[in-house]
Amino acid sequence: MVTLFDKASNGPAPSSAGMKDSYSTYQEPDTRVPPKARPVLDAVSVNGVAIAESDILAEAQNHPAENPGAALLSAARALAVRELLLQRARERQIAVSPESDAEGRSETDDDAAIRRLIEEEVTVPSATAEECLRFYENNRGKFRSEPIFEASHILIAADPADERTRAAARTDAERLAAVLAEHPSEFATMARTHSACPSAEQGGNLGQLTRGSTVAEFERALARMAEGEITPRPVESRFGYHIIRLERRIDGEQLPFDFVQQRIAGWLEASTWSKAVSQYIAILAADATVTGIDLLAADGPLMQ
């Protein structure tokens, strides 16, 4: 006999309608293969030769940019240009002879082929003496010897991450600067006593300094100082606080044209070579079938 109560629970047995409702909410798991992710770039090819997306992603690390998309675009262009040049080298049956650099690293066959192709097909004239002189006269400020400073300092060291120590160091440095304003002859003595720099043993003397010898804040202070002057206020840098005395300065001098002519010729020829190679590649690109990327775009590397 069928009863309306389940024997084990003594409660009402589920009705067939209830069982049907409970099963109606069940869904079979989706076992379909998910769609493949869309490529990060449209398919890139040069005369029917595809450039793999994996190669573009790997190349992107060599092209720093403001965002990943720009890096990928730059990488794709570089690889497309490389493929274009390699195809031309094969067409010309360029003989490959890899060379080694100063560190003994040898070119790949592809690199050697591209180098040889450009050497054979891109002609760059030498810069004339007149062109070099014209560049010199228009850019005289570029051809001056670096100024030389002879300076001493007292460094009150402080970790930039420790605000309390930093504040205390600044107070100490300001106190020392105030004393030196009244007793400048005591600079060397106070450097030996208070400076955290190894130069303390020489009374703070740093010897001769040129651009790049010290941190930027120190250099800017020196550029504003007169010989014999001591900074009235400490100069802050990542190392702490400096009290600086400028012992002597030798201003930069105009370098004669004969001294820099070869350097100028190198600059002009390098610039001309770069433009000539860009024009050469643009001619190859205009005659090629390139998909997925525009090598001749107004903002592209060949049109800059």
Asked, for residue 278, whether it belongs to a domain, the answer is: no
Using CA atoms, how far apart are residues 44 and 36, in angstroms rounded to an integer? 18
Using CA atoms, how far apart are residues 292 and 170, in angstroms rounded to an integer? 59
CA 66 to chain centre: 11
pLDDT at 42: 76
Asked, for residue 183, whether it belongs to a domain, the answer is: yes
Which residue is it, tokens 């770069």?
Answer: 274
Asked whether the beta carbons of 129 and 257 are under 8 A apart, the reply is: no
Asked, for residue 232, whether it belongs to a domain, the answer is: yes
Asked, for residue 22, whether it belongs to a domain, the answer is: no
Tens-binned pLDDT, residue by residue, of the chain (304 aa): 444 444 444 555 555 555 445 555 666 666 666 555 555 567 899 999 999 999 999 999 999 988 888 999 999 999 999 999 999 999 999 998 899 888 889 999 999 999 999 999 999 889 999 999 999 999 998 999 989 999 999 999 999 899 999 999 999 999 999 999 999 999 999 999 999 999 999 999 999 999 889 999 999 999 999 999 999 999 999 999 999 999 999 988 999 999 999 999 999 999 999 999 999 999 999 999 999 988 886 555 554 4
Asked, for residue 169, whether it belongs to a domain, the answer is: yes
What is the number of structural domains in the chain?
A: 1
Three-state SS for 15?
A: coil
**Domain range enclosing 155:** 148-250
The CATH number given to whatever domain includes residue 202 is: 3.10.50.40
Asked, for residue 8, whether it belongs to a domain, the answer is: no
Asked, for residue 115, whether it belongs to a domain, the answer is: no
* 287 bridge partner residues: none
Asked, for residue 163, whether it belongs to a domain, the answer is: yes
**119: Cβ–Cβ under 8 A, 6 or more apart, which residues?**
none
Strands (E), the chain: 44-46, 49-51, 148-157, 205-209, 235-237, 240-250, 290-291
